[in-house]
Amino acid sequence: MKKFRLVISLLLVISVAAGLSAPAFAGGVQDDVSPVAATASDALPVSPTDAAPDSPTDAAPAEEAPVNVPGYKSENRPIRNKIYDEGIPTITTTSFFNFFNSVRNVFSILSGKYFFSPPKKLNVTTDEGIDELTSFINENSGLDINQILTNVPDWNDPAKIVGKIININVPELRSQLYAAEQDAYASGRRARGTMCHFLASYLSVIERADIYLAPYGDDGLYEVNCNVTYSDGYVETFHPGIVVNLETGECTGKGDGGMVGIGFNCNVYDMLVYAPMYCWMRECGFCVEYDLLCYILPMYCYNTRRFRFDYGDKEWMIQVWKGNYLITNGAEVGIYNRDKPAFGTYYNCISDEERLPMDLQVYHGNDLLVDIPETVHWWVNGFRMGKALYSPHSMTVKFSITFNDEEMLKAFCRSIDLELHGDVKYTVNGMKVSCVWDG
């Protein structure tokens, strides 16, 4: 009987693996297919070397890429070419849940019981406005936020046990913890205040959560609210900090820190995620170690170029990225500096006074994935959600920076000329430098 269970389990594991890999890596992956295995093809919309000075982005198409050369499409590598052209399908929310359930079933057969018991689900509801937004995202990317919300596990059992053993007076305890929260916030101890509120909510035992849109101001905007009902009937309204414009699809935070303070806003109808000016990342600067950490993590796959130069009494670095970020394709251009003399790889994000006008476009073939118009910024970026992840080498990044004076402009152009890879081309029009990173 044990041998029979083992055979069945192996068959299930094989079928699960085949089911996941078939749609995502159709036909398998050859040994030379990797995130860095391709550069742009003749479908690119711009050739930086032919660009006219007064119109650097209106140019003839690039020459046809050679075949059988590392970094390009190859006539003998049809799977490599397919991945280059079409990308790799993202894992949908439904596929993820199916995979998790399959793993749980395999463990149940191996052990004779559920190793991961199907969790009870918290009673979560959403209104029509939320459903409209989440359905649009699901249809265009496979990310089903509504499915995630309605599958939130019910972790109330420990709170019920504690409450029964200690015989907690829930309303009284909640009132005391809320008072402690206010005292903590008043004294600047935000972490302690957050913990007090969490304990008050958790020990009250959550019965249900209703997520809905409520009018916000007089500009036709809506705020995402969440009414939480506790076991004693008390209802508390949470304001996560998401403001929605149903006409444009723009979802922002109430302040300058992004939605829920995570550092990012998004436009649902454009399927675009971007960071606002004063996100928390601005306090962290940048260093090479950040990139090294991202290379280790499986959620990121990108290429980057760094352009370092001296200007004034500071060392400057303009860094460009392109590739995959979680379930998005996108790019970023950041400006950093530090005082002289300096050691190591750490740079500060530039100040408001040092910001420069920048714009950014990201292409995959002829498809425009990201289009950020010119804005005075320190970090212009855009990440497009979709149903496929593209090789960084198959994406073309165009960006422009307008400098304050000729000295800074020449220093930046010189740093591009000296960059090791030599795959970023540029044109100059007045104080504006327009760059194309292809490959």
pLDDT over 60 at 15, yes or no: no
What percent of the chain stands above pLDDT 90?
60
Regarding whether 419 and 302 lie in a shared domain, the answer is: yes
Under the banding of pLDDT at 50, 70 and 90, the label for residue 19 is: very low
For the stretch 148-170, pLDDT in tens is: 998 888 888 888 888 888 888 88
Say yes or no: 109 and 146 in one domain.
no
Same domain, residue pair 201 and 108:
no
Express each pLDDT in 291-300 by its tens digit.
999 989 888 9
The answer to whether position 256 is within a domain reads no
If asked whether residues 103 and 131 sit together in one domain, one would say no
Of 118, 134, 164, the residue at which a domain comes to its end is 118
pLDDT tens for 430-439 read: 999 999 999 7
- Domain for residue 79, yes or no? no
Q: What is the 3-state secondary structure (H, E, C) of the chain?
A: CHHHHHHHHHHHHHHHHHHHHHHHCCCCCCCCCCCCCCCCCCCCCCCHHHCECCECCCCCCCCCCCCCCCCCCCCCCHHHHHHHHHCEECCCHHHHHHHHHHHHHHHHHHHCCCCCCCCCECEEEECHHHHHHHHHHHHHHCCCHHHHHCCCECCCHHHHHHHHHHCCCHHHHHHHHHHHHHHHHHCCCHHHHHHHHHHHHHHCCEEEEEEEEEEECCCCEEEEEEEEEECCCCEEEECCCCEECCCCCEEECCCCCCHHHCCCEEECCCCEEECCCCCHHHHHCECHHHHHHHHHCCCEEEEEEEEEEEECCEEEEEEEEEEEECCEEEEEEEEEEEECCCCCCCEEECCHHHCEEEEEEEEECCEEEEEEEEEEECEEEEEEECCEECCHHHEEEEEEEECCCHHHHHHHHHHHHHCCCCCEEEEEECCEEEEEEEC
**Percentage of residues of the chain with pLDDT beyond 70:** 81
Residues 242 and 379 both lie in one domain: no
In this prediction, residue 108 has a pLDDT band, given cuts at 50, 70 and 90, of confident
pLDDT in the model for residue 118 = 64
Mean pLDDT for 142-146 is 93
Q: Give me the mean pLDDT over the 387-394 stretch.
A: 93
Residue 405 has pLDDT above 70, yes or no: yes
**Looking at the domain assignment, is residue 210 inside a domain?**
yes
Lowest mean pLDDT among 93-107, 119-133, 335-349, 352-366: 93-107
Give the model's pLDDT for residue 359: 98
Same domain, 288 and 214: no
Q: Is residue 324 part of a domain?
A: yes
Mean pLDDT score, 385-404: 95
Q: Are residues 103 and 178 in the same domain?
A: no
Q: pLDDT-based confidence at 73, cuts 50/70/90?
A: low
**Does the pLDDT of residue 23 top 50, yes or no?**
no
| Domain boundaries, position 4 | 1-31+89-118
Domain shared by 282 and 213, yes or no: no
The domain total for the chain is: 3
Q: Judge whether residue 145 has pLDDT over 80.
A: yes
Res 1 pLDDT > 80: no
Average pLDDT (309-317) is 96
Residues 203 and 297 in one domain: no
Residue 437's pLDDT is: 96
What pLDDT score does 115 carry?
A: 54
At residue 243, the pLDDT reads: 95
pLDDT of 116: 56
112 pLDDT tier (thresholds 50, 70, 90): low
Where does the pLDDT of residue 256 fall: very low under 50, low under 70, confident under 90, or very high at 90 and above?
confident
pLDDT score for 76: 74
41 inside domain: no
Residue 82 lies in a domain: no
Mean of the pLDDT values across residues 310-321?
96
Shared domain for 432 and 312, answered yes or no, is yes
Does residue 110 sit in the same domain as residue 151? no
What's the confidence (pLDDT) of residue 74?
66
Query: Quick check: is 307 in a domain?
Result: yes
83 lies in some domain: no
